[in-house]
């Protein structure tokens, strides 16, 4: 049989109960804040914003790399344009624009 005798005074027991009640109230308040819809929405928004920032950062780095690669193909180390590469690309672009213009005229006419 277990010994159930308590050597604490009633005042000590009441103080212990009050302390435990205060801890429990604090815990319940914290749980209430955590499960409140505004808190949940705020946490979700923060996660989405962090993911968007991370994704945009990665996209920026990738775009910057691609632009640097393209620039390196059309500009030499001193910054002068490489005409032997620019002229053929420009001619192809003009040809494509011309074909597009002709095809839209044929559809209208």
**How high is the pLDDT of residue 79?**
86
The pTM (predicted TM-score) of the whole model is 0.45
pLDDT at 104 over 90: no
Euclidean distance between CA atoms 16 and 35, whole angstroms: 29
pLDDT at 4 over 70: no
**How high is the pLDDT of residue 29?**
92
User: Are 74 and 81 spatial neighbours (Cβ–Cβ below 8 Å)?
Assistant: yes
Average pLDDT, the chain: 90
**Nearest 5°: phi and psi at 3?**
-85, 115
Please give the helix or strand (H or E) that residue 38 lies within, else none.
helix 37-74
Task: Band the pLDDT of 6: cuts 50, 70, 90.
Answer: confident
**How high is the pLDDT of residue 108?**
73
| Residue 107, both tokens | 């559809």
């Amino acid at each position: 049989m277990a010994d159930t005798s308590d050597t604490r005074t009633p005042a000590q027991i009441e103080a212990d109960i009050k302390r435990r009640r205060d801890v429990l109230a604090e815990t319940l308040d914290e749980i209430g804040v955590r499960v409140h819809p505004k808190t949940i929405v705020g946490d979700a928004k923060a996660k989405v914003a962090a993911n968007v920032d991370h994704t945009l950062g990665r996209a920026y780095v990738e775009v910057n790399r691609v632009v640097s690669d393209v620039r390196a193909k059309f500009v030499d180390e001193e910054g002068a344009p490489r005409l032997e590469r620019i002229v053929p690309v420009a001619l192809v672009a003009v040809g494509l624009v011309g074909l597009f213009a002709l095809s839209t005229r044929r559809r209208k006419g």
